[in-house]
Chain A
Amino acid sequence: MIYRLFPNPELELATAPASRERLVERGFERAYENAQEIGSDTVIQHIQAIRLGGRGGAAFPTARKWLSVKNEAESIKYVVMNADESEPGTFKDRELLLRDPLGPLTGLLIAASAVGAQQAYVYVRGEYRDVEIRIQEAITVLAEAGWIGPGKVSIDVRRGAGAYIAGEETALFNSIEGYRPEPRVKPPYPTAQGLFHKPTLIQNVETLANIALLFAHDVDWFRAVGTDATPGTKLVALSGHVANPGVYEVPFGIELGALIGDGQYGGGTGTGRPLKAVLMGGAAGTFITPQEAFEARLDYPDLAKFGAGVGSGAIMLFDSTADLGRILTGLARFFADESCGQCVPCRIGTKRILELLETQRLWDRRADLKDLATAMTDASICGLGQTAANALVSAMNRPSLWNEPAAL
C-alpha cells in the first residue's frame, strides 16, 4: 500500500480531516509557503517536471494550462476546483475530499497565486452533501490559518443540483454564472475566456491534491513512484462484481491483474464466478476482456495498446452473470438522460443508440451505429456526445465478451 494522496492510516486516525494538525502534518503548510517563495515560474516548471496531467479523465498537461492562464494579460482571473464528479463507476474525488480535503484546497490556493487569481470556486455536486460539509470545515481551517480572507484569495463553494453535464468545464462556468449548464463551443478555451469570460484555470480535485503533494515535497520525491511517462500515483475506483469495492491509491504502472485480484485491492470478483469484462476509465471508457486486463498496466501508453485509457480511474468489473446488453443499455440511458440537448448529434445520437439497444437491433444495424458514433464524435460540442458511444463500440469490437466467459 502506498499513501501519498491519502494520509497514512496512523495520521488518518490521529488527526481530523479538516484540522490545523492535519494541515501541518501532511506538509501542506510547507507546500503553501514553499510555492509562494519559489514564485510562479518555478512552480510551473516543477509541475512540468513531474509531467502532471489532469486526473479528471482527459489528462491534459497541467503545466501548459497554468502557463496559459498566467500569461493572459487580464487583471481578473479565476481558479476553479471541479468536484462535480458524477458518472457510473467514478467516485474517487468523493473519497479524497472526505478523507483529506486540505490537500486539494491547498492545491487550489497554490494555483490561484501561481496564475494570479483572486477568487477561487469549488463546485461540488448536490448529491455530495457530506463532502460539501467537509469542504466547508476545511475552508474554515484555512481561514484560521490566514490563507484566505480579506485582501487574500477567497473561496466560494457552489453546490450543483443534479446535472451530470455541469461537470463539463464550460457548462460548470455557466452553472456558476446562473445560466443553464450547457457546454460552450470551444475555442475560446477556459484559459482565455472561462468563468465570467475571464481567464480561468479549472482542475479536477485529484490534480490539485497532487500539486499540494509536489510542493510539500519536491520533484524527485514525486517522481520516485510511478512510471517515467506518468510519475506519481492514481486513485482508482473499483466497483461492480468485486470483493472489495472502494477507492485505492496505486502507483502508475501497477499491473491491472494485481489491482483486480490482489486481496489488498479488489480481491477478485468476490462472487465465486469468473470475471467476464472490465470497463476501464469511466462510463465513456473502454471495455476490455479479462485477458487484456491481465496483460495491461495502469498507465496511458500501456492501456493505449488496448484502445483504453486511465480516464478518471474508474474500473468497473463484471462477472460471468453480467448481461452485457443490459449494462450497455444502462450506459446508453445514462447518456441519453444526461445529454443537455443543446447540440443535435448528441441529443439525437444518444437517443438513437438507446433505441437500438432497447429494441435489440444492435448487431443488425452495426453499420448505422458506426456512422452514428462517428458523427457524434466529430460533431458534438462537448465530451459527452463525443465519447458517449465509446464503451459500446469497444464492447462490439470484442466478440469474446459476448461468448462464454474465460476461466480465470
Chain B
Amino acid sequence: MNHNSEGSGAVTAHSRDEEGGVTELQAEEHEIVVGIVSRFPRQRTWLLPVLWQVVEELGWLNPDRIEWISEALNVPYAEIYGVASFYSLFRWEPSAGPEVHVCTDVMCTLKSGDSLYDDLTRASVDQTFTVASVTCLGRCDAAPACLVNYEPVENATIAEVLERLRTLAVEKGGEQS
C-alpha cells in the first residue's frame, strides 16, 4: 500500500452543498461517471477499468464518485470502496498539479531514492505538484526511479523530475490556449 494515502478516502466527507442538495458541479461529474460506466459491459469484472477511467478523466476518486459507480453497477458502496481503496495508485484527493510517485524501496534507497523523495517533498511546498512514496516500481536497474503522472523517470535526479514537471505544465498550458 502507498505509505501516504492509505485509507484517506474514508475520511473525506461527501461534498453536498449547505442544504444537502446536489451542486451543479456534482451533477456534471455524476454525468461523467455514469457515462464512463456505460461505456463498459455492466459486469463487475469491468470495475478496475472503470476506476482507472474515472481517475484518468476526473483526476481522483471520492465518496461521491464511488457511490455513483456503485449505483450504476448495482454493487454495494462498501464493496466498491473496498476494491478501490486497496490500490495505491489511485488518488483520493484533489491536487493542483501532477503526481510524482517516488520509489523508496530497498534498491532505490541504496541509490539515494529516499533523499530524492525528501528533496521532492520540500520542492512541492509550492503545491504545483504532489509527492508520494511508493514501494518497488520494478526499475531497480535504473535506480532511483519515480513516476511523473504515471510515466517512468529512470536514474531520476531532482533536476530531471522538475524539468519533466515544467514540460508537463507547458504542455497543459498549450492544451488550454
Contacts and interface: CB of A to CB of B under 8 A. Distances in A.
A88 B135 CA distance: 8
Interface of A: 85-91, 94, 125-130, 158-164, 175-181, 196, 237-241, 245-247, 283, 316, 318, 322, 326-327, 330-331, 334, 337-338, 340
B107 A175 contact: no
Contact of A126 (B45, B83, B89): B89
B83 A178 contact: yes
B22 interface: no
Interface stretch (B11-19, B121-129, B139-147, B159-167): B139-147
A316 B86 CA distance: 29
A129 B152 contact: yes
A160 B48 CA distance: 8
B24 interface: no
B138 A162 contact: no
Contact of A237 (B47, B88, B140): B140
Contacts of A128: 138
Contacts of B45: 176-178, 196
**B interface secondary structure, majority:** mixed
A237 B141 contact: yes
B141 A127 contact: no
B54 to A, nearest CB: 12
9 contacts: A86-B138, A90-B138, A162-B87, A164-B136, A177-B44, A178-B46, A237-B140, A238-B141, A330-B105
B1 to A, nearest CB: 5
B137 interface: yes
Contacts of A94: 138-139
A160 B138 CA distance: 14
Contacts of B150: 126-127, 129
B120 interface: no
B89 to A, nearest CB: 4
Given A127-B147, A130-B152, A161 B141 contact: no
B10 interface: no
A240 B107 contact: yes
Given A177-B45, A179-B83, A87 B136 contact: yes
Given A128-B138, A237-B140, A240-B110, A337 B83 contact: no
A88 B48 contact: no
B64 to A, nearest CB: 20
Contacts of A177: 44-45
Contacts of A238: 141
